[in-house]
């Protein structure tokens, strides 16, 4: 395969993608596919949905590269596009819509906070939760698993799952209240 020698650096791959070179696109896809799937697994547990989000995200990456090639912090740029694609997927997918409403109920009582105004911020906060709190919160609040199902999948007791959810919710509310205080002071 002579094409392997053609792409010696990420810059070469990006230039090939900008020229709509299919082999360059495949190289870029294979280079970052694993890390993008791992990122999506933090918020999604259905393999078909994850695959769909990653593929849709890479399509956006390739389209944007033909318009405006990015040569610095390529992985961060791709990660941002995939992340935004995942958020769009959660907003538009009927299976997740009711669960997004469920997530919003977790923030009841947070002074001056409207969850629908900054879904990206909520996902960043969830991402900062320690394991296994993040996993339990995501499975329960976003994916719609029951505590029994979570306990079985994580090999923990059902009450432990409930405790992690309670602690995650408490931590998220504290972070949101601190953020709102900072906004009001600024």
33-72 tens-digit pLDDT: 998 998 888 777 788 989 999 999 999 999 998 888 777 7
Predicted confidence at residue 1, as pLDDT, reads 43
Confidence bin at 91 (pLDDT 50/70/90): confident
Q: Which of 2-16, 83-97, 108-122, 123-137 has the highest mean pLDDT?
A: 123-137
Predicted confidence at residue 119, as pLDDT, reads 62
Q: Is the pLDDT of residue 94 over 90?
A: no
Predicted confidence at residue 113, as pLDDT, reads 47
Q: Please tell me the pTM assigned to this model.
A: 0.55
Are the C-beta atoms of 169 and 110 separated by less than 8 Å? no
Helical residues (DSSP H) of the chain, grouped into ranges = 3-6, 10-18, 22-41, 47-67, 74-92, 94-105, 119-127, 133-137, 147-154, 158-185
Predicted confidence at residue 157, as pLDDT, reads 94
Between 58-67, 115-124, 131-140, the lowest mean confidence (pLDDT) is in 115-124
Question: Mean pLDDT of all residues in the chain?
Answer: 79
- CATH code matching the domain that covers 9-92, chosen among 2.60.40.10, 3.30.379.10, 3.30.565.10, 1.10.1740.10: 1.10.1740.10
Predicted confidence at residue 174, as pLDDT, reads 85
Mean pLDDT of 103-110: 52
Share of the chain above pLDDT 70, in %: 77
| CATH assignment, 97-185 | 1.10.10.10
Distance of alpha carbon 18 from alpha carbon 40, whole angstroms:
25
Distance of alpha carbon 17 from alpha carbon 70, whole angstroms:
10
> What distances in angstroms separate CA 93 from CA 17, 98, 119, 139, one per listed residue?
30, 9, 15, 16
Single out the residue of 140, 163, 127 nearest to residue 45, CA to CA. 140
Distance of alpha carbon 99 from alpha carbon 43, whole angstroms:
12
The full set of domain ranges for the chain reads: 9-92, 97-185
9-92 and 97-185 in the same fold: no
């Amino acid at each position: 395969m002579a094409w392997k020698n053609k792409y010696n650096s990420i810059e070469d791959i990006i230039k090939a993608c900008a020229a709509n070179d299919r082999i360059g696109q495949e190289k870029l896809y294979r280079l970052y596919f694993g890390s993008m799937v791992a990122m999506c697994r933090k918020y999604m547990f259905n393999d078909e949905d994850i695959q769909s989000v990653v593929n849709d995200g890479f399509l956006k990456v390739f389209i944007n590269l033909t318009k405006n090639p990015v040569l610095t912090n390529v992985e961060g740029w791709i990660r941002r596009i995939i992340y935004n694609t995942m958020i769009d997927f959660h907003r538009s997918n009927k299976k997740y819509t009711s669960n997004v409403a469920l997530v919003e109920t977790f923030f009841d009582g947070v002074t001056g906070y409207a969850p629908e105004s900054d879904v990206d911020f909520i996902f960043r906060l969830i991402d900062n939760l320690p394991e296994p709190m993040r996993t339990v919160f995501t499975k329960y609040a976003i994916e719609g698993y029951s505590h029994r199902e979570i306990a079985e999948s994580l090999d923990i007791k059902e009450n432990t799952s409930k405790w992690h959810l309670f602690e995650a919710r408490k931590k998220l509310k504290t972070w949101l209240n601190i953020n709102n205080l900072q906004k009001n002071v600024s």
